[in-house]
Amino acid sequence: MKQILEEPRIHDPAVTGVFLILGTLLAFFLNHITSSIIDVSSIYILSVVVIARLTSRYIYGIIASVISILCINFFFTYPYMHIDFTLAGYPVAFISMLVISFFMSAATTNLKEQSLIIAVREKQLAAAEKEKMRANLLRAISHDLRTPLTSIIGNTNIYMDHSGLLSEEEKKTLVKNIKEDADWLLNMVENILTVTRIHTSGAKVTKSMEPIEEVVSEAVQRLQKRIPSARVNVRVPDDFLMIPMDAMLIEQVIINLIENAVMHSQSTKPTDLYVTCEENSVSFHVRDYGIGIPGYKLPDIFNGTGTDTSAAPDGKRGMGIGLSICKSIIDAHDGIIMAYNMDIGAEFCFTLPKDGGTDTEV
């Protein structure tokens, strides 16, 4: 990292020259008003500090300090427009400014080095966190795909090997189970495509002003086509609300959260979907009245570990991939998503800002 800081940059001499010229012009202006050599010296010291901060080597601050002393001597001390090294106190002023420049250059260079180290560490931590998220998603995907596939293969084998022994009702049940698992796989593929889109390098979430009521209505309709038995109570504010979002992605979040409540709450009561409006944001709440979320899952519920990958292949479908995708989508919208247990059941809530611009880099 030191090597990076010490690499010569073409614009360093230009920065030094520009700020010395600006400092000299400002010193002339100030000297015309106050006629104070102390004020003039302060301007040059400020120029030296700025140069030391913006350049990559100590030498530019020292060069600026030497030139500043010469400019003060040449332009602002009698006899004007002449260099006179015999002026009283000049050697002390020269050495003092050199010392100030050296320490300022050292301090600013060290500050830049520390900033670079912090930036590199933050980048490494972000990369490690992203890799951890990717690993968790892969584990969740492998389990969540394997579960319905195993069920489909098992039911298909039963149908083919024992078709003559099965009643019509049993055959219908097997076909129904195969269809449900196939629908689940289709939903999984949609989720995987969504997360791939969000994590693709350079991809953007394109936002446009969308009416809340229409987005909620479309999400519920899509869910009920997928799960006809799902019952959802919807409440939205009376006021007409529009906020910037990618409507398709936010609908996917709502569908994932409601489907999660329907599939995992073990409740016979309808799921509540309601919207609340704050001064600078709008919040979407999905509330169920079931068994709640196990306490040990709450801290990591959105990072892809909601699926118990140690479970049997034909075990209950997990909820990790869908929730981790919800978080990715909400993060891309500069929003917040949370989950918490209520007295009865659990609630998921995500909040979107009312002023979110149009396009957000993911």
Cα separation of 275 and 328, whole Å? 20
Does residue 8 register a pLDDT over 60?
A: no
The verdict on residue 203 lying in a domain is: yes
As a whole number, the mean pLDDT across the chain is 79
The verdict on residue 208 lying in a domain is: yes
Burial class (CB in 10 A: 0-12, 13-18, 19+), 130: exposed
pLDDT band of 141, cuts 50, 70, 90: low
Give yes or no: residues 158 and 271 share one domain: yes
**pLDDT, tens only, 194-252:** 666 666 544 567 789 999 999 999 999 888 877 888 899 999 998 889 999 988 889 88
Percent of the chain with pLDDT over 90: 19
Measure Cα distances from 341 to 244, 252, 293, 334, 344 in Å.
29, 22, 6, 24, 8
Cα separation of 362 and 352, whole Å? 16
Of 71, 88, 105, which marks where a domain is finished? 88
The DSSP call for residue 82 is S
* Lowest pLDDT segment from 13-22, 57-66, 275-284: 57-66
Give the side-chain half-sphere CA count within 13 A for 84: 12
Give yes or no: residues 45 and 191 share one domain: no
Give yes or no: residues 220 and 354 share one domain: yes
Does residue 20 register a pLDDT over 70?
A: yes
Cα separation of 48 and 337, whole Å? 48
For the domain that residue 143 is a member of, what is the CATH number? 3.30.565.10
The DSSP call for residue 270 is P
**pLDDT, tens only, 262-317:** 888 888 899 999 999 998 999 999 999 999 988 888 888 887 654 444 444 444 44
Give yes or no: residues 84 and 138 share one domain: no
The radius of gyration of the chain's CA atoms, rounded to the nearest angstrom, is: 33
Does residue 318 register a pLDDT over 90?
A: no
Per-residue pLDDT, 185 = 81
The three-state secondary structure class of 350 is strand
**pLDDT, tens only, 142-190:** 766 777 788 889 889 998 888 888 888 988 999 988 988 887 788 777 7
The verdict on residue 112 lying in a domain is: no
Cβ within 8 Å of residue 58, ≥6 positions away:
52, 102, 105, 106, 109
Give yes or no: residues 142 and 69 share one domain: no
Contact of 258 with 230, CB cutoff 8 Å: yes
The verdict on residue 31 lying in a domain is: yes
Contact of 221 with 183, CB cutoff 8 Å: no
Give the side-chain half-sphere CA count within 13 A for 316: 11
Its pTM stands at: 0.54
Does residue 335 register a pLDDT over 90?
A: yes
Of 88, 116, 148, which marks where a domain is finished? 88
- Domain range holding 46? 2-88
Give yes or no: residues 65 and 151 share one domain: no
Give yes or no: residues 60 and 137 share one domain: no
Contact of 335 with 353, CB cutoff 8 Å: yes
Does residue 94 register a pLDDT over 70?
A: no
Of 88, 110, 145, which marks where a domain is finished? 88
Give yes or no: residues 141 and 44 share one domain: no
Q: Rounded to the nearest 10 degrees, how much is the dihedral formed by the CA atoms of 87, 89, 90, 96?
A: 180
Per-residue pLDDT, 105 = 67
Of the candidates 329, 325, 317, 349, the one whose C-alpha atom is nearest the C-alpha of residue 133 is 325
Give yes or no: residues 194 and 70 share one domain: no
Residue that has been written with the tokens 């990717």 in this structure: 134
Type of residue found at 63? I
The verdict on residue 98 lying in a domain is: no
* Lowest pLDDT segment from 50-59, 90-99, 180-189: 90-99
The verdict on residue 125 lying in a domain is: no
Per-residue pLDDT, 216 = 95
The verdict on residue 117 lying in a domain is: no
Give yes or no: residues 146 and 75 share one domain: no
Instruction: State the average pLDDT over residues 32-55.
Output: 79
Does residue 68 register a pLDDT over 70?
A: yes
Total tally of structural domains belonging to the chain: 2
Reading the block at residue 86, the tokens are 């015999």
Give yes or no: residues 347 and 295 share one domain: yes
Per-residue pLDDT, 357 = 52
Give yes or no: residues 139 and 224 share one domain: yes
Measure Cα distances from 9 to 21, 60, 193, 306 in Å.
20, 11, 44, 50
* C-alpha of 192 from chain center: 19
The verdict on residue 10 lying in a domain is: yes
Measure Cα distances from 105 to 42, 55, 92, 340 in Å.
16, 9, 20, 51
Per-residue pLDDT, 220 = 93
Does residue 36 register a pLDDT over 50?
A: yes
